[in-house]
Amino acid sequence: MTELERSLVALGRDLDVPQTPDFAPAVLVRLERRLQGRPRRLKIVVALAVLATLTAALAIPEARSALLRILHIGAERIERVDELPEVALQHDLEFVLGERVTLEEARRRAGFALRELDEPPDRVYLGDRGTVWFLYGTPERVRLLVAQTPRLRLGTDLIFKKLVGPQTRIEPVDVDGSPGFFLDGEPHLVFLLDENGSVVNETARLSRNVLVWDSGGVTYRLEGGFGKQEALEIVGSLR
């Protein structure tokens, strides 16, 4: 199943409508096959069309409520809840991020080509399940977090789970031709998931604004105190 299929299936999961044959996967598979080898411009046009359709649906309050209950994007699962649960937060960011390594070591051990900013990160971490984290600032005063998770070599797609309250906005965005989401407003809860897809409660923390997208089997995630446009400009600086 392609990432676009996962997103569409997840978006429709909570809709209260009668059961109908699921034609979407077959249609999307055929569409993807037809696009193989086609110019990148055509792929971007298709991605923009999907995003435009989703954005139009989200303009209707009832549709927005149903569609944004559960979303999948790459290695992340985003769940809309009426109220964030009371949980013990993990304040040791390094505990969540994993093993501290050098940038060169991260490049060597990642198993895929890392995308980097011109400014080298202040600290680099390698998570237990393959996520590479670039931290700008310090664990106590984070300016920017950049996460890169290679999904294709994992036994399960999901690594992160987000719980989003009513005061956090979720906006579908196009990120260089790939579908993504921008989250801002009130902070939301983030958990790491284990190999079985279960929440690791000790990793719960509050996250600020986030831009997440999936491209080429890698889920990318930016976290910081930025707006959507600034986040997209940071993406444009990734090489």
The tokens of 49 are what? 């069309």
Three-state DSSP at 100 gives: strand
3-state class percentages of the chain: helix first, strand second, coil last, to nearest 5: 30, 35, 35
Residues 96-117 have pLDDT tens digits of 999 999 999 999 999 999 999 9
Count CB-CB contacts under 10 A for residue 77: 20
Residues 160-217 have pLDDT tens digits of 999 999 999 999 999 999 999 999 999 999 999 988 889 999 999 999 999 999 999 9
The tokens of 202 are what? 């000790």
Domain ranges, ordered by start, for the chain: 3-73, 93-237
Residues 35-61 have pLDDT tens digits of 565 565 655 555 555 555 555 544 544
* Helices vs. strands in the chain: H and E counts, helices first: 7, 13
